[in-house]
C-alpha cells in the first residue's frame, strides 16, 4: 500500500515538475484512481479484520440478549403461574383452617354441653339422694319423737294420776 502511495506521489510530483498544465479544480491524474482503490481496499480490510468480528460479536450479544429476554419472560410467566397456584392453595388452606376451627369450636361446645349436662345430672342425683336421706332421717326423727312424746305423755299421765 505504501508503494502505491509513493508511486502516486512520485507521479504527482513529476507531473508538477515537468510543467504539465493543471486541470483546474481537480487534477485527473493517477492519484484519483489510486485513492479510490486504496479506499476500496481499506474498506475490505477493515470489514474483514474489524467490522465482521465486531458485527458477529454484536449479533451474538443480540442473540444472547433476546434469548435471555425470552427465557426471563418464560420464567416470569412460570413464576406468575406458581404465584397464582400458591395463592389458590393458600386460600384453600385458609378456608380449610377456618372450617377446622369452626368444627373444633362446635366439638368443644358439644363437649362442654355434654359435660355440663353430666355435671347437672350428677348434681341433681346427689341432691335427690341427699333429699331422700334427709327425708328418711326426718321420718326417723319424727317417729322417734312420736314414740318419745307418747312415752312422755304416758309418764306425765301416770304421775298425775299417781299424785292424785
- Where exactly are the structural domains of the chain? 32-163
One digit per residue, pLDDT tens: the chain, 164 residues?
555 555 555 555 554 445 555 555 666 677 878 888 999 999 999 888 888 888 888 999 999 999 999 999 999 999 999 999 999 999 999 999 999 999 999 999 999 999 999 999 999 999 999 999 999 999 999 999 888 888 888 888 888 888 77
Is 30 within 8 Å of 14 (Cβ atoms)?
Answer: no
Is 50 within 8 Å of 16 (Cβ atoms)?
Answer: no
Q: How many CB atoms lie within 10 A of CB 37?
A: 13
Give me the residue label for grid cell 397456584: 85
Amino acid at each position: 500500500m505504501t508503494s502505491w502511495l509513493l508511486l502516486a506521489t512520485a507521479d504527482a510530483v513529476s507531473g508538477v515538475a515537468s510543467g504539465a498544465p493543471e486541470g483546474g479544480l481537480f487534477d485527473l491524474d493517477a492519484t484519483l484512481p489510486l485513492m479510490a482503490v486504496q479506499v476500496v481496499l481499506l474498506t475490505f480490510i477493515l470489514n474483514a479484520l474489524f467490522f465482521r468480528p465486531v458485527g458477529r460479536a454484536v449479533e451474538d450479544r443480540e442473540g444472547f440478549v433476546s434469548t435471555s429476554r425470552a427465557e426471563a419472560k418464560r420464567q416470569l410467566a412460570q413464576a406468575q403461574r406458581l404465584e397464582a397456584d400458591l395463592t389458590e392453595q393458600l386460600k384453600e388452606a385458609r378456608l380449610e383452617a377456618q372450617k377446622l376451627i369452626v368444627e373444633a369450636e362446635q366439638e368443644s361446645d358439644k363437649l362442654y354441653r355434654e359435660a355440663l349436662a353430666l355435671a347437672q345430672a350428677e348434681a341433681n342425683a346427689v341432691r335427690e339422694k341427699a333429699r331422700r336421706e334427709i327425708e328418711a332421717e326426718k321420718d326417723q326423727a319424727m317417729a322417734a319423737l312420736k314414740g318419745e312424746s307418747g312415752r312422755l305423755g304416758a309418764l306425765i299421765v301416770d304421775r298425775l294420776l299417781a299424785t292424785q
